[in-house]
Amino acid sequence: MEKNADINSNNRKKVLIIKLSSLGDVIFNVPLANVLKQNGYEVSWLVGEKGFDIVNGNPCVDKIFFAPIEKWKKSKNIFKNLKEAFELLRQLRKENFDICLDTQMRLKSLFFTRFCNAKRRIISKDAKEFSKFGANETIPSIRDENNSIVKNYLKYAQYLGLNVNNITVTLPQASKEVIQKVDELLQDVDRTKPLVVIAPATTWIGKHWDKNNWKVLISELEKEYTLIFTGTKNDNDLINYIGRDKHLNIAGKTSLKELIEVLRRADMVISLDSGTTHLAWATQNPKIVSIYCCTPKNLYAPVGDSNKYAAIASSICVPCHHKKCRAIEKYACTASPAPEIVLEKIHKLFSGENK
């Protein structure tokens, strides 16, 4: 096992974390990076477009290496893509990393893990799509759907002999420009009542809660709380249906950094298994009620105080964790939980009596 690095040493061990995928997955790796930093490692990240704004300016990062994965996927110029990839690899190799942690564990990370020139290239036994061939060390399985995904990723730090009892999640500080933009967006918001941000959509159909459930819930919440809707432009039809154009809708009007600032100002966030839920958790400010349909709540729910976070799972069907429903009654799980159950959790969190 790796001994703790000397924080005062001029020759800090250098570690590269490779995480090229979604916003949520990058956030889940931030506590791992903070453990490494707290133990004296110099931490670099290799990230794609979706995770860049999470690590850029984040105190858990010393250096960022950017892989434009989404651009490469869309581009038809294979030779230009390869040229950019090899130039990125050249920059990585110059760093002479002591350790590379491939937490992506997919084909897209294989090339960079294998050739980044790190002395130790570590991956989990769970790795898929031949990505294990990029590593020279394999740790036991980190996949446990009954355990938080954040704690699962911390098993990389445990393998290095580090204490992972304290989970520290961080985000970049907001710039003056971001704060000013959010001030303008929220200037007419009624702050005499608790501010509740609602993010009713995400990427998978099976993660979506039934729109009529949302409509019933919103009609009750608007009696006591100030509501703000967030999302993308594509979510506006859903938001208009469940909110009836009665509340502030900033869907598609914020950058990722501006959304983070909005979430920092919220008293509560109500959402799904989505990037917004994970961002809200990362701000460490609002209470969160999150709803889980096809994905396991134990794996993806916010980690922390039960009087601050409540995760509610569908009671219809066992969470399959599949993008496409394989049940006879398609997406039946999205009809549950009932709005009354969610409303009760919301009231309990606000009263501080959640159990």
The CA radius of gyration of the chain, in Å to the nearest whole number, is 21
SS3 23: helix
Fold of the CATH domain 176-351: Rossmann fold (3.40.50)
Listed in order, the ranges of the chain carrying CATH 3.40.50.2000 are 14-159, 176-351
Task: Kindly indicate the confidence band of residue 29, based on its pLDDT and cuts at 50, 70 and 90.
Answer: very high
Kindly state the average pLDDT of the residues 136-160.
95
Kindly state the average pLDDT of the residues 331-348.
96
Q: Which residues contact 292 (CB under 8 A, 6 or more apart)?
A: 207, 272, 273, 300, 301, 311, 312, 313, 314, 319
What values do phi and psi take at 153, rounded to 5?
-65, -30
- Inform me whether the pLDDT recorded for 316 exceeds 60: yes
Instruction: Please give the C-alpha separations between residue 157 and each of 4, 101, 124, 162, 304, in angstroms, as whole numbers.
Output: 10, 10, 12, 5, 20
Could you tell me which CATH number the domain at 14-159 has? 3.40.50.2000
Kindly state the average pLDDT of the residues 88-115.
97
Question: What was the pLDDT predicted at 223?
Answer: 96
Question: What was the pLDDT predicted at 328?
Answer: 83
Task: Kindly indicate the confidence band of residue 353, based on its pLDDT and cuts at 50, 70 and 90.
Answer: confident
Task: Kindly indicate the confidence band of residue 80, based on its pLDDT and cuts at 50, 70 and 90.
Answer: very high
Tokens of residue 42, six digits: 């110099």
Question: What was the pLDDT predicted at 354?
Answer: 67
- Inform me whether the pLDDT recorded for 255 exceeds 50: yes
Question: What was the pLDDT predicted at 69?
Answer: 94
Q: How far is residue 55's CA from residue 47's CA, in Å, rounded to a whole number?
A: 8
